[in-house]
Every structure is written in structure tokens, then in C-alpha cells.
């Protein structure tokens, strides 16, 4: 299969992407978080192609992308909490997990009684949903387990020859995947931290959002919470000391052994004497900039074939910084730290 590179700046290309989707094809498209791999969300055969192209196990459910609150009511049973959050945070990087209506194919939800739904903000994503005339199932457009794509080039690096097209709109703005909140049970549970913080969700609900990590009992709440995920090929070495001096010592030792370095701007003056690749992600006080550059930097360092990447964690676990550290811990294969979602 030849994968077409289409431009979101061209109306004809956007139309073509819509045609491919309506015909049951696979089209990767930009959202504000990461590129998604889209297909008709209510067509079992189209959804099946997503799993095949990504090498994704059938037990890992997909997010349905919709235009807004009206579509939500066609897919699931939103309660008052869900309607409040959707009206407040959509369109945007918030995914809600809710009890599914029977119309949602079992394959989309991996056999679960619940379905994940989000309304993306990116204009190209919104137009494709309109052109497809039904919700688009779309996981991140990477091979299963790999780092999510934030550019069309990243998508092609993983999926060229396996999908019909990618719609290029340049780099995505948020850079990490959406917040996933389950409202399928009695209490709201944060399944994945992202662009919308647990604190903002709790404030809007007037009820504390619990962290999935905090509930040890019961089945795995979200299959995507697997510990090793979002991974580059290189080993990640996380530098996490509160004590700056110890962090510097560990970074220097890692660099001395040939590790590439993923640093915060505050580390810019460090280790300039060592001949290793270094990328500055942004300031520790600007998690939005760090998130926006994170996945591109991981892919770039990985492509150099380096065996270890040493990376500084964000110092404060809140909002986007919590999402960044969550992804880095998963990429390193270490279990996510139980964090207090209200911090």
C-alpha cells in the first residue's frame, strides 16, 4: 500500500482524506495532542484495520472522536457529571469513559461495557469528523508501544505503507495525549494524566478525582496503563533527585558513559564539556513547552542509535508536568508513581 501525504492546508486534500475515511480507509490526522490514526468508529471492519496497522492487541480499547456533546449522547449514557465536564472542557484534551450504548461496536471498546469519547479541538480533526459523517476511532498514530507522533513525519516513520494517508498540519501543540477520566463507576477516576489537570476536573465536579494508581483492588482499569509503554528503543535513565547536586552527579556519570541527554533549560550550563548529544526541552517553569517538544526529542535521540537517554523529570507533579513524568516513567518501564491528583 502506498501511503499518501496530504496537506491540511489544501481543501482538496482534506476532501480526499474524508473520502478515504468514508470508504473504510485509515487516515492519520492531527489533533491538538498527538496525531491520531483514524477510521470509521462504527464500522467494525474499518476499526479492525486500525488494530492491524498498529500491531495493537485487541484488548486495548480505542477513543471515539466526536464533534461535541450531542454525539456523546448517541454513543453512551452521560450522567450530569459527564455533561458538565464535556460542556466545560470540550473541545479539548479530555477523554471521558462512560457506559456504552449497544451501537458502539465491541471491537472499539475491546469488549468492555464502557467507551472512551473525546471532542478534539484541532480544526483539521473537526473537519474530518464532519466529512466522515460518524465518530472517528483514533488511537495515537504510532506502532503499538512506541512513542506517540507529534508530526506527520513521525507517523510515516512508524506506519508508511500500512495506512492509506496522513493529513499533515505541522507539529501538534499540546504534545502529550489527552487526560482520560473514567465516569463509568461511582467515583471519577483519572486513568491517564494529560492536558487537563486532575485539580481542574475536581474543582469543576466539586468532588475529588481519584488516581487510578491509588486503587489496588479490581481488574486493570485501563489497558493502556500498562507499565512499559510510550517507549523509545533506547533505555531511559530518569534523573529525579530533589537535591540538585546529586542530580548533576548522576547526569555527568550517564553522559560519561555515552548517554544522550534530555535536559531542562535550567541544566543548559551543565556538562557542556562532554561530547554527547543534548536536547533542551524547555524551562521547568514552562511544562507546556516541555510537553510540546518531548516526543520529537525522544524520537530524534533514539534515531541516533544511542543506547541510553538520560532525562530530567519535572520537579512538580501537577497538570501537564504530571503527564510528562507519567509518560517518562512508562517509557522507562518503571511503574507510575502514585500521585496525589489534587496536588
109 binds, among ligand TXA, Mg ion, none (CB under 5 to 8 A by kind): ligand TXA
Phi/psi for 253 (5° steps) reads -65, -40
Instruction: Provide, rounded to whole angstroms, the least separation between the CB of residue 142 and Mg ion.
Output: 6
Residue 6 β-bridge partners: 167
Question: Which part of the chain contacts Mg ion (CB under 5 A), choosing from 24-32, 121-129, 132-140, 152-160?
Answer: 132-140
Among 158, 177, 270, 317, binds ligand TXA (CB under 6 A): 177
The Cα 303–Cα 298 span in angstroms is 9
Among 116, 209, 254, 332, binds ligand TXA (CB under 6 A): 116
Among 3, 119, 140, 172, binds Mg ion (CB under 5 A): 140
Q: Nearest residue to ligand TXA, using CB? A: 224
**What is the size of the binding site for ligand TXA (CB under 6 A)?**
29
198 binds, among ligand TXA, Mg ion, none (CB under 5 to 8 A by kind): none
**By CB under 5 A, residue 33 contacts Mg ion:** no
Question: Which part of the chain contacts ligand TXA (CB under 6 A), choosing from 40-48, 56-64, 205-213, 272-280?
Answer: 56-64
Q: Return the C-alpha cell found at 221.
A: 482499569
Among 92, 139, 175, 282, binds ligand TXA (CB under 6 A): 139
Q: Is 316 helix (H, G, I), strand (E, B) or coil?
A: coil
The Cα 237–Cα 226 span in angstroms is 19
Inter-residue contact 119 to 68 (CB < 8 Å):
yes
The Cα 174–Cα 34 span in angstroms is 7
Strand order in the sheet with 36-40: 4-7, 165-168, 27-29, 36-40, 136-137, 63-65, 114-118, 94-99, 179-182, 189-192, 210-211
Inter-residue contact 212 to 222 (CB < 8 Å):
yes
Ranges within 14-53 binding ligand TXA (CB under 6 A): 31, 33-34, 36
**By CB under 5 A, residue 179 contacts Mg ion:** no
Amino acid at each position: 500500500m502506498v501511503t499518501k501525504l496530504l496537506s491540511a492546508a489544501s481543501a482538496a486534500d482534506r476532501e480526499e482524506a474524508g473520502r478515504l475515511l468514508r470508504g473504510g480507509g485509515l487516515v492519520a490526522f492531527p489533533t491538538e495532542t498527538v496525531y491520531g490514526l483514524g477510521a470509521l468508529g462504527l464500522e467494525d471492519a474499518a476499526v479492525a484495520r486500525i488494530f492491524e496497522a498498529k500491531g495493537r492487541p485487541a484488548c486495548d480499547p480505542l477513543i471515539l472522536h466526536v464533534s461535541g456533546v450531542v454525539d456523546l449522547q448517541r454513543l453512551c449514557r452521560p450522567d450530569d457529571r459527564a455533561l458538565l465536564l464535556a460542556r466545560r472542557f470540550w473541545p479539548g484534551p479530555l477523554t471521558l469513559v462512560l457506559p456504552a450504548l449497544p451501537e458502539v461496536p465491541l471491537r472499539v471498546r475491546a469488549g468492555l461495557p464502557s467507551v472512551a469519547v473525546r471532542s478534539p479541538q484541532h480544526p483539521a480533526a473537526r473537519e474530518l469528523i464532519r466529512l466522515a459523517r460518524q465518530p472517528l476511532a483514533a488511537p495515537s498514530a504510532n506502532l503499538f508501544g512506541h512513542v506517540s507522533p507529534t508530526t506527520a513525519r513521525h507517523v510515516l516513520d512508524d506506519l508508511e505503507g500500512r495506512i492509506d494517508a496522513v493529513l499533515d498540519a505541522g507539529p501538534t501543540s499540546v504534545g502529550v495525549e489527552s487526560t482520560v477520566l473514567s465516569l463509568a463507576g461511582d467515583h471519577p477516576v483519572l486513568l491517564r494524566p494529560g492536558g487537563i489537570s486532575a485539580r481542574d476536573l475536581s474543582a469543576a465536579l466539586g468532588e475529588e478525582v481519584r488516581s487510578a494508581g491509588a486503587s489496588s483492588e479490581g481488574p486493570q482499569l485501563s489497558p493502556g496503563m500498562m507499565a512499559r509503554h510510550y517507549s523509545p528503543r533506547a533505555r531511559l535513565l530518569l534523573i529525579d533527585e530533589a537535591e540538585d547536586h546529586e542530580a548533576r552527579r548522576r547526569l555527568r556519570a550517564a553522559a560519561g558513559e555515552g548517554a544522550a541527554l534530555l535536559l531542562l533549560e535550567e541544566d543548559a550550563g551543565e556538562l557542556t564539556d562532554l561530547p554527547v548529544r543534548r536536547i533542551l526541552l524547555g524551562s521547568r517553569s514552562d511544562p507546556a513547552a516541555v510537553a510540546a517538544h518531548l516526543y520529537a526529542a525522544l524520537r530524534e535521540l533514539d534515531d541516533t542509535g544511542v543506547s541510553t537517554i538520560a532525562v530530567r523529570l519535572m520537579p512538580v507533579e501537577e497538570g501537564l508536568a504530571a503527564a510528562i513524568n507519567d509518560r517518562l516513567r512508562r517509557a522507562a518501564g518503571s511503574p507510575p508513581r502514585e500521585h496525589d491528583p489534587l496536588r
